[in-house]
Structure 1
Amino acid sequence: MKKIMAILALGLALTGCKKEHAKSAELVEPAAFYTAVKQDGVQVIDVRTPEEYNSGHIANAVNIDINENDFAQRLDSLDKDKAVYVYCRSGGRSAKAVDMLKAKSFTNIIELNGGIEAWQKAEKPVEN
């Protein structure tokens, strides 16, 4: 009986960890990202360089260049209680940003799958 209880407890612990991890970050397609970022008060960060950002970005996105020395500090200006929507050019830098946001205890992170390249391919609007 003790073995059964121990196995059940272990199973619940592992399942609970998986669910928590799944909540911390979500990779979404452009259509879902577009719908979400149109809402008022969302936090959208573009982690590309300023030059890339100025060549076209998602409306209301704030440019926080992941390559800058103060990137981690600038993440501290975001509200941890609100969702953070993050993207880059194709997905590599935003994946790194997601890891950094997780390390800073952000719990609701939404990453644009394929970055702004996928966004533009899906014919979603950009601002200059």
Structure 2
Amino acid sequence: MKRVIKRLLLLVVFINVFACQSQKESPIQRIDKEAIKTEVIGKDVQLVDVRTPGEYNAGHIDDAVNFDLSDRTTFMKQIETLDKDQPVYLYCLVGSRSGYAAKILRSKGFTQIFDYSGGYNDWIKN
């Protein structure tokens, strides 16, 4: 009987540890057009367009830098130039690639990642 109680107690502790870890705030936050307008435009921030160079050259937001996510090797080198302790704003065309890029940045230790979920298509919409 004592053995069963010990195992149950251990299970409860194990579940509580993992439950607490999952409640930590994620460094990735999804943002919208209004946030880009108020927090990014005209400000000195790390704004990264993860689309291809062709897409970027056809139009981009403010002073965004182009780190092409489809060129994984170069992308990984380029993100090393960013300050991990400062906010990084990401966008792509509609939000898929920037979401993936945000996960990469999180895995590399970035602490404040903002993913513009609407992407460039939302940006150019009236």
Same fold flag (TM > 0.5): yes
Shift in CA distance, 104/117, structure 1 to aligned 2, threshold 3 Å = same
Which of structure 1's runs of 4+ aligned residues deviate more than 3 A? 6-11, 13-16
1:89 aligns with one of 84, 88, 93: 93
Q: 1:36 corresponds to which letter in structure 2?
A: E
Larger Rg: 2
Gapped runs of 5+ residues in structure 1?
124-128
In angstroms, what is the RMSD of aligned CA positions? Answer: 2.2
1:8-57 CA-to-partner distances (Å, cap 9, x unmatched) read 8854x44542343x331001111112211125321000000111001110
Shift in CA distance, 85/8, structure 1 to aligned 2, threshold 3 Å = same
Q: 2:45 corresponds to which letter in structure 1?
A: V
2: CA distance, partners of 1:16 / 1:30: 32
The answer to whether 1:108 aligns with 2:109 is no
The number of residue pairs the alignment matches comes to 120
> SS in structure 1 opposite 2:26?
helix
Q: 2:108 corresponds to which letter in structure 1?
A: K
The answer to whether 1:36 aligns with 2:39 is yes
1:95-127 CA-to-partner distances (Å, cap 9, x unmatched) read 110111011111110000121111222x3xxxx
What is the CA distance between 1:90 and its match in structure 2?
A: 0.7
Q: What TM-score do the two structures reach when normalised by structure 2?
A: 0.81
> SS in structure 2 opposite 1:71?
helix
Which of 1 and 2 has higher RCO (CA within 8 Å, sep 6+)?
A: 1
Q: 2:52 corresponds to which letter in structure 1?
A: T
